[in-house]
Amino acid sequence: MIIFAGRSNVGKSTLIFRLTGKRVRRGKRPGVTRRPMEVEWRGTKIVDLPGFGFMSGLPSEVQEKIKDEIVHYIENNADRIELAILVVDGKAAPEIIRRWEKRGEIPIDVEFYQFLRELEIPTIVAVNKIDKVKNVESVIHFLAEKFGVPPEKVKETFVPVSAKFGKNIEDLKFLMEKKRKDHKTSRTR
């Protein structure tokens, strides 16, 4: 299976719709009662995890609970997860990361990426909403540094996309297939 994770409102469901032609979201209600939503895709299953991080109107205990549930879900399914797509908002992410760091906290996206690395789940970072970003290269460079991705791995880790305008979706699909294939061969070796 392939999991999609990311903060609320980064465009996860729009992106899954672009990829699969299927709608995963029922209404706007975030987290809590939402189970991971599943759609079939190219012989596997895409799982849309609830959005994590700050959501206005949700108390912080609830936000923590959602995060814990996501973490448990991933830990419990780690053996079956062939690929993770971490979706970030290319416009908002750098600012949010800087803000968290200023407060002396580890930004949730950074923490989440490192968590996936620790579990050795192949991960692609889909940098979404690039239609709103002037210098996409510098955003990717910034994120790579924060996530601890070495320069030679940037191209195989980050894909700039615009889910809303259907930009670079083919690039994302291509990289997804490549990572799936690599993952399979590394397992059967």
Residue ranges in contact with ligand GDP by CB under 6 A:
6, 8-14, 25, 51, 128-129, 131-132, 162-164
| Least separation in angstroms between CB 132 and ligand GDP | 5
3-state helix, strand, coil in the chain (%, to 5): 45, 20, 35
Q: Is 125 exposed, middle or buried (0-12, 13-18, 19+ CB in 10 A)?
A: buried
- Answer yes or no: are the C-beta atoms of 78 and 119 closer than 8 Å: yes
| Least separation in angstroms between CB 7 and ligand GDP | 7
List phi, psi (to 5°) of 92. -85, -30
- The residue among 41 and 183 lying less far from ligand GDP, judged by its C-beta, is 41
- Answer yes or no: are the C-beta atoms of 100 and 61 closer than 8 Å: no
- The residue among 98 and 132 lying less far from ligand GDP, judged by its C-beta, is 132
| Least separation in angstroms between CB 79 and ligand GDP | 26
- The residue among 136 and 183 lying less far from ligand GDP, judged by its C-beta, is 136
| Least separation in angstroms between CB 140 and ligand GDP | 15
- Answer yes or no: are the C-beta atoms of 50 and 30 closer than 8 Å: yes
- The residue among 85 and 149 lying less far from ligand GDP, judged by its C-beta, is 85
